[in-house]
């Protein structure tokens, strides 16, 4: 703690009471604890940053008279304890088995009667390493020819790809486009307030189960729980459908408007996507053969949790300029003339610039407006045409009244306003 004059900085004025016994050697530490039958442990760590483990010979260490056990990665694998979760929602080997992936990684653990015997036994363990090229630079890891350190994570990318932006900028359409490019199914989960994990994962076909019960009763046949809770009666919802997608390409899982769901569902979602697995109590754990490409959209009605943003490739999608909007209109409504698409794009931009609108129009409304003009056979966008089709652009009565009151001439004038 430091002070500036009489004013303390940091935790304020604190009187340390323990210093006297520390300086006199009277302090008590964990290393000083002695309990009856207490054993000591020591960890054997890899001296190499990246190497394949060819063999681990623990026979000499196990023969030490004071050694009680020598534990290796294979020992833990046999017990189903080989992997442990990390604080970053990843997994890591408790003790390395096939290879070491960083310098100092744990390879073996010795349990002995005292700490000196445990440390001596470490010297008796013979590990045969085959050195592999290490990666010492984060940028170097991005090179196409960079060594693969985590073989178990090869080809696995970020858990999710959140897209934030104002309503109507095309976030949902971006997910559809991604699925089309990958030539893979788009599986959509629409979020809403109160959405639970059960509603997003799966449900049981209760009517069919009830019929099965009645049929078994009429035939006098016994019916077990396993007969009712089987694949036949399982109805996958979007999350389970994405996990169970067989491939070969990953499904695109669109989790739309995730900001409308609550924090608990967001935490569940993060865990599910990180593991690419889900447990059904009656059927066991389902692990994705090909983890889905998850696209999360948000209209920023609330902030997404930092833990989710850290595990993703974040995108902010803004409104495109009028030239881009006109090109989108032409692609989606090819019957519209180039000049009409440009005028519709400018009109939508001017509407969006009005601060008093409850819901400013987006790209979808621009497409709808051009489509409405074509459906009505209108070949020109003047004040009268705008008045007849304004409901395709504005969705609130207050917005319609405000725009009509201000006048529609400037809205559709080819030369008026800004093209921004």
Q: How far apart are CA 315 and CA 122, in angstroms?
A: 49
Q: For the residues 388-405, what does the mean pLDDT come to?
A: 88
pTM, two decimal places: 0.56
Over residues 151-177, mean pLDDT: 73
Half-sphere exposure of 159 (CA within 13 A, CB side): 20
Is it the case that residue 270 has pLDDT exceeding 80? no
**What's the confidence (pLDDT) of residue 182?**
80
Give the range among 206-210, 363-367, 378-382 with minimum mean pLDDT.
378-382
CA dihedral 99, 102, 108, 110 (to 10 degrees): 170
Percent of the residues in the chain that have a pLDDT greater than 70, as a whole number: 89
Distance between CA 390 and CA 398 in Å, rounded?
Answer: 13
Average pLDDT of the segment spanning 95-99:
91
Report the alpha-carbon distance of residue 159 to residue 271 in Å, rounded: 10
- Helices 338-352 + 322-332 axis angle, to 10: 130
**Beta carbons of 299 and 166 less than 8 angstroms apart:** yes
- CA distance linking residue 329 with residue 327, whole number of Å: 5
Q: Superfamily assignment of 160-316 in CATH?
A: P-loop containing nucleotide triphosphate hydrolases (3.40.50.300)
Question: Angle formed by the axes of helices 363-375 and 322-332, to 10°?
Answer: 50
pLDDT at 162 over 80: no
**Contact between 116 and 105 (Cβ < 8 Å):** no
Weakest-pLDDT range from 77-86, 124-133, 328-337: 77-86
pLDDT at 319: 84
Look up tokens 């100092």; give the residue.
104
Strand (E) or helix (H) holding 214: helix 206-219
How far out from the chain centre does Cα 127 lie? 38
Least confident of 36-40, 214-218, 409-413: 409-413
Task: Quickly state the pLDDT bin for 11 (edges 50, 70, 90).
Answer: very low
Question: Please, what CATH class does the domain formed by 40-131 belong to?
Answer: alpha beta
- The whole-angstrom distance between residue 334's C-alpha and the CA centroid of its chain comes to 37
pLDDT at site 415: 43
Burial of 94 (0-12, 13-18, 19+ CB in 10 A): middle
Rounded mean pLDDT, 382-393: 88
Residue identified by tokens 């307030």 is: 193
Measured distance CA(22)–CA(396) in Å, rounded = 73
Quick one: pLDDT at residue 65?
96
Chain centroid, CA 194 distance in Å: 20
């Amino acid at each position: 703690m430091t002070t500036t004059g009489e004013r303390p900085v940091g935790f304020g004025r604190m009187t340390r009471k323990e210093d006297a016994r520390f300086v006199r050697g009277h302090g008590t530490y964990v290393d000083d604890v002695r309990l009856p039958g207490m054993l000591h442990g020591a960890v054997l760590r890899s001296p190499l940053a990246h190497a394949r483990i060819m063999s681990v010979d623990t026979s000499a260490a196990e023969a030490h008279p004071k050694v009680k056990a020598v534990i290796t990665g294979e020992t833990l694998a046999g017990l189903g304890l080989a992997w442990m979760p990390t604080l970053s929602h990843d997994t890591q080997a408790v003790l390395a088995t096939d290879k070491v992936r960083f310098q100092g990684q744990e390879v073996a653990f010795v349990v002995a009667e005292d700490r000196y015997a445990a440390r001596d036994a470490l010297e008796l363990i013979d590990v045969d390493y085959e050195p592999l090229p290490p990666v010492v630079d984060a940028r170097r890891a991005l090179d196409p020819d960079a060594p693969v350190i985590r073989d178990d994570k090869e080809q696995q990318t970020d858990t999710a790809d959140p897209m934030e932006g104002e309503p109507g900028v095309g976030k949902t359409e971006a997910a559809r486009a991604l699925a089309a490019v990958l030539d893979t199914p788009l599986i959509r989960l629409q979020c809403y307030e109160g959405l639970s994990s059960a509603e997003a994962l799966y449900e049981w076909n209760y009517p069919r189960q009830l019929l099965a019960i009645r049929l078994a009763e009429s035939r006098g046949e016994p019916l077990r729980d396993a007969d009712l809770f089987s694949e036949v009666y399982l109805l996958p919802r979007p999350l389970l459908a994405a996990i169970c997608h067989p491939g070969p390409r990953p499904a695109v899982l669109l989790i739309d408007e995730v900001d409308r769901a609550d924090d608990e569902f967001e935490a569940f979602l993060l865990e599910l996507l990180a593991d690419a697995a889900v447990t059904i109590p009656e059927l066991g754990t389902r692990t994705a053969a090909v983890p889905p490409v998850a696209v999360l959209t948000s209209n920023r009605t609330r902030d997404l949790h930092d833990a989710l943003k850290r595990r993703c490739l974040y995108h902010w999608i803004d409104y495109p300029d009028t030239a881009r909007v006109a090109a989108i209109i032409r692609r989606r409504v090819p019957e519209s003339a180039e000049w009409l698409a440009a005028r519709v794009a400018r009109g939508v931009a001017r509407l969006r610039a009005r601060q008093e609108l409850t819901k400013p129009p987006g790209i979808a409304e621009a497409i709808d407006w051009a489509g409405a003009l074509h459906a009505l056979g209108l070949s020109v966008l003047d004040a009268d045409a705008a008045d007849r089709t304004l409901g395709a652009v504005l969705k609130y009565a207050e917005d319609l009244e405000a725009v009509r009151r201000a006048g529609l001439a400037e809205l559709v004038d080819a030369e008026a306003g800004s093209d921004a």
